[in-house]
Chain A
Amino acid sequence: MATIRFIEFNGTEHLVSGANDSSLMEAAVTNLVPGIDADCGGECSCATCHVLIDQVWRAKLDQPSEIEESMLDLNPDRTEDSRLSCCIPVTEDLEGITIKLPEFQY
């Protein structure tokens, strides 16, 4: 379990709790956080679960896989904070993490 703070592009905040064995994407859609489409249901096939995670929190995560990295590479809103939220499992270590959502999903 971890408490996750999602911040929509317009600034609206959602404090949700994510279960272990689920992904950040699942935590968002289960709690109806807008701004994540997740069109492939978490198969790392669509890139519509794009989120932004700052350096401090990113350092606690596993590196993105080659597939995740290439899915992100051509995203017009890509920054160095970009990750695909379906590829990140929720763990206790993520307690208090803040995740920003981009304006659009492509």
Chain B
Amino acid sequence: MAGVVIIGAGQAAAQTAASLRQEKFEGPITIFGEESEFPYQRPPLSKDYLAGKISVEKTLVRPAEFYDSKNIAVNLSAKVEEIDLAQNTISTTLSETFKYDNLVVATGSRARELIIPGHELNGVHYLRSLKDVDAIRNEMKTAKEICIVGGGYIGLEVAAVATILGLKVTILEMESRILKRVTTEKMSEFYHALHAKKGVDIRCSTQVQGFEGEGSVSSVITKEKTFKSDMVIVGIGILPNSELAQKAGIDCENGILVNENCQTSARNVYAIGDCSNHPNPILNRRLRLESVPNAMEQARVAANNILGGDKKYSTIPWFWSDQYDLKLQMLGFSADGETSIVRGEVSEEKFAVFYLSNEKIVAVDAVNSPKEFMLAKQLYGKRADPEQLSDVNYDLKKMLN
């Protein structure tokens, strides 16, 4: 028996192996990962780990000993170069060939690169891996000014940590507002004001044209102005790692195409996590998601199907972001709503915005409002009375009956 081979040693890979063992699979499980660390969680990379509050061990999805104790073979610093669908094998950079009965592609995604003059200078960083963050943390110790290119969640989280560490932070955003691709104007305004209050200089509608410096970056060039900067973090989105699957002849389109069982177009080959483009039956459309809950659930679905089950993926996307002492929890897509209802006080930094379509809840952005997030999780797609939603004195629990 060749067992299950998993490509990528990240969040989704680790959960697949754990779910297989939890469901009593006793055959071989072999993981191949390009990075040198055991599977770790990325969310802390732009939050507590960047801030120096937690150790590497704390970022691990499971303790390193876990894999041995559950008889899961983990091959690190081993990049998979090729999948041979006819032979049911994969081959690695170490020119090993490995047979599989079932293959799980969990290759994740990578940072979108900004190829402009000066991009190869030292001090210009992306933030995707532990190694990236270790280098960033090291430079932050001596840097005074930092430019962040891209005002998405990762950029804003880094801005918050850098500000707390005492750096002067500038965010350069190409769009007319930060977070434009992911949220509504109201939320963008809130986060813009929050960071501005903390001293972050946010420049929207600003396109970065190049980096300058002698060996190491010292300034960032835009059309209007040159910004002095000791280091730069580029956070302008990600691209799915689907080339390996595509090269093997597996159907891909904006990620690796899978069905609701996380199966690809190739027999016994699954794709999960950031690299998968999957149907969402609740939202009635295909999605490619960059989120831990998605990676975890797809891992459970793939494991169940490998073992002969018929578990189908069906969850409402959600995400979180921590900035300063604010916890943001988001569920669904605000763009799906026609109307929005605010509950709580924006000025008190404790509020939730519910988004409704045909009077039904289709999304929520909850700032320091876990209750409202939990309500939306349970009432998603159901009718809700706008007056009750907006009335902070109305007990939300009553709505669940």
Contact = CB atoms under 8 A, between A and B. Distances in A.
Interface string B366-401: 000111001101100000000000000000110010
Contacts of B375: 74
Interface stretch (B59-67, B239-247, B259-267, B357-365): B59-67
B237 interface: no
B293 A75 contact: no
A75 B370 CA distance: 11
A34 B63 contact: no
The SS class assigned to the B binding surface is helix
Given A34-B22, A45-B329, A74-B397, A40 B320 contact: yes
Contacts of A34: 22
Contact of B61 (A32, A41, A70, A76): A41
A45 B370 CA distance: 8
Contacts, number: 60
B104 interface: no
Nearest to B321: A45
B21 interface: yes
A67 B371 CA distance: 9
Contacts of A43: 43, 320, 322
Given A40-B293, A71-B374, A32 B327 contact: no
B22 A45 contact: no
B374 A32 contact: no
A32 B21 contact: yes
B320 A47 contact: no
A106 interface: yes
A70 B62 CA distance: 27
A75 B371 CA distance: 9
Interface in A48-99: 67, 70-71, 73-76
A72 to B, nearest CB: 8
Contacts of A15: none
Contacts of A71: 370-371, 374
Given A70-B370, A73-B397, A37 B378 contact: no
A41 B375 CA distance: 21
B292 interface: yes
A27 B371 CA distance: 27
B41 interface: yes
A104 to B, nearest CB: 11
Given A37-B296, A41-B61, A74 B378 contact: yes
A2 interface: no
A74 B397 CA distance: 6
Interface in B27-86: 41, 43, 61-63, 66, 70
Nearest to B329: A45
A46 to B, nearest CB: 7
A46 B293 contact: yes
Contacts of B377: 106
Nearest to B328: A45
Contacts of A45: 320, 327, 329
12 contacts: A29-B18, A30-B66, A32-B70, A39-B292, A40-B320, A43-B322, A45-B329, A70-B369, A71-B370, A74-B396, A74-B397, A76-B378
Interface of B: 18, 21-22, 41, 43, 61-63, 66, 70, 292-293, 296-297, 318, 320, 322, 327, 329, 369-371, 374-375, 377-378, 396-397, 400
> What 7 pairs between A and B have smallest CB-CB spacing?
A74-B374, A70-B370, A39-B293, A45-B320, A70-B371, A32-B22, A71-B370
Given A40-B43, A40-B320, A73-B371, 11 more contacts: A30-B62, A30-B66, A32-B70, A39-B292, A39-B293, A43-B322, A46-B320, A73-B374, A74-B396, A74-B400, A76-B400
